[in-house]
Amino acid sequence: MFTTARALPQNSAMQPEPIEPSALASRRNVVYEQPLNERMRTFLRVEFLWQQALYHNESPNPWSSRAAVSSLLEILAITGRGDARSDVLKEIERQLAVLRDYQARPGVDASRLNAVVSTLTQRRDSLGNAGAASLAGLRDNEFLAAIKHRSAIPGGTCEFDLPDYCHWLHLPAEVRRADFNEWLTALKPLCETIGDILWVTRENSRPRHETATGGTFQLAFERENPIHLLRILLPGDSPLYPEISGSHHRCSIRFLEWSDAHNRPVQADGDVPFVLTCCT
């Protein structure tokens, strides 16, 4: 909660790995996330692709450039469905309303909370100033459009299919990186804002210890306090992983035991302790 929350970094969405709540931060643990509505599902996918694009853009290898371009095109495909910008702005306003409610509560670290509110407000203004047509230049880019069109065909971006793409991939790494950074600039307000929304969503909930009796766990949610995201933490050396199904009203969690890539996992038959966070 925001009694201990830290302020959002100005470039938090640019981090190569998701920022974990301080109570859960450990490389020895694995966190599994399950979105409970379509908006959260879209945000998580965009965050994943944005981090992947940034990671591969740092490598001088042409294969990494291919992976970075693929991630960028997938972000454009996701954000092209419906009005992603409007959904992000609505979610910012919802989060700001929740945070302002915390400002009136005793025991809250006001300076840190105010920093988070200020950062989200800046993100909102930046995204609003970018305008609804901020991605039009990327969508109209003939070079990227050709790659997108051929990407629908298995192996469709081979050298003989897209000789201009092949030529670009063989340009010096600094040239490719400069081009890609220019494309990222158009996506940056949207993707960084989504990253910060998810940061706040994860931070603004308390984890609790639970036990899945016989490897299963049932959850029912209050209609007045909808849950947007579930997070399940397990030790990194655990042979188990969760399979989550349900909706924003209720969900079921069962823990499966991994054997290897050649055999089907089996459900755990013993009690499974885990850490659960229900993010509102």
* More reliable by pLDDT, 126 or 26: 126
Residue 24 has pLDDT above 70, yes or no: no
Domain end residue (candidates: 203, 223, 252): 203
Q: Confirm whether pTM is higher than 0.95.
A: no
Q: Which pLDDT value is given to residue 81?
A: 77
Residue 54 has pLDDT above 70, yes or no: yes
The answer to whether position 31 is within a domain reads no
pLDDT mean over 185-195: 93
Q: Which pLDDT value is given to residue 5?
A: 38
Residues 199 and 214 in one domain: no
CATH number at residue 259: 2.60.440.10
Residues 183 and 239 in one domain: no
Residues 102 and 133 in one domain: yes
Residue 217 has pLDDT above 80, yes or no: yes
Number of independent structural domains in the chain: 2
Residues 237 and 145 in one domain: no
The answer to whether position 180 is within a domain reads yes
Residue 107 has pLDDT above 80, yes or no: no
pLDDT mean over 227-244: 94
Residues 186 and 270 in one domain: no
Percentage of residues in the chain having pLDDT higher than 70:
90
Residues 143 and 197 in one domain: yes
The answer to whether position 29 is within a domain reads no
Q: Which pLDDT value is given to residue 219?
A: 92
pLDDT mean over 147-155: 94
CATH number at residue 167: 1.10.3900.10
The answer to whether position 30 is within a domain reads no
Instruction: Spell out the long-range contacts of 163-171 with Cβ–Cβ below 8 A and sequence spacing 24 or more.
Output: 168/143, 169/62, 169/65, 169/66, 170/62
pLDDT mean over 137-148: 94
Contact, 73 vs 157, CB < 8 A? no
Residues 70 and 106 in one domain: yes
Q: Tens of pLDDT along 119-131?
A: 999 999 988 887 7
Amino acid at 45: R
Residue 96 burial (10 A CB sphere; 0-12, 13-18, 19+): middle
Domain end residue (candidates: 203, 222, 247): 203
Q: Tens of pLDDT along 65-85?
A: 999 999 999 999 998 876 888
Domain end residue (candidates: 183, 203, 223): 203
The answer to whether position 54 is within a domain reads yes
pLDDT mean over 218-225: 87
Residues 144 and 251 in one domain: no
Residues 44 and 134 in one domain: yes
Q: Which pLDDT value is given to residue 111?
A: 85
Q: Which pLDDT value is given to residue 27?
A: 56
Residues 195 and 246 in one domain: no
Q: Which of 81, 52, 80 is nearest to 66 (CA)?
A: 52
pLDDT confidence band for 105 (50 / 70 / 90):
confident
The answer to whether position 10 is within a domain reads no
Q: What is the average pLDDT value for the chain, to the nearest integer?
A: 87
Residues 124 and 254 in one domain: no
Structural domain range at position 194: 38-203
Residue 18 has pLDDT above 70, yes or no: no
Residue 118 has pLDDT above 70, yes or no: yes
The answer to whether position 141 is within a domain reads yes
Q: Which of 22-31, 86-95, 243-252, 264-273 has the lowest mean pLDDT?
A: 22-31
pLDDT mean over 125-150: 89
Contact, 243 vs 253, CB < 8 A? yes
The answer to whether position 17 is within a domain reads no
Contact, 246 vs 219, CB < 8 A? yes
Residues 127 and 257 in one domain: no
CA gap 101, 155 in Å, rounded: 52
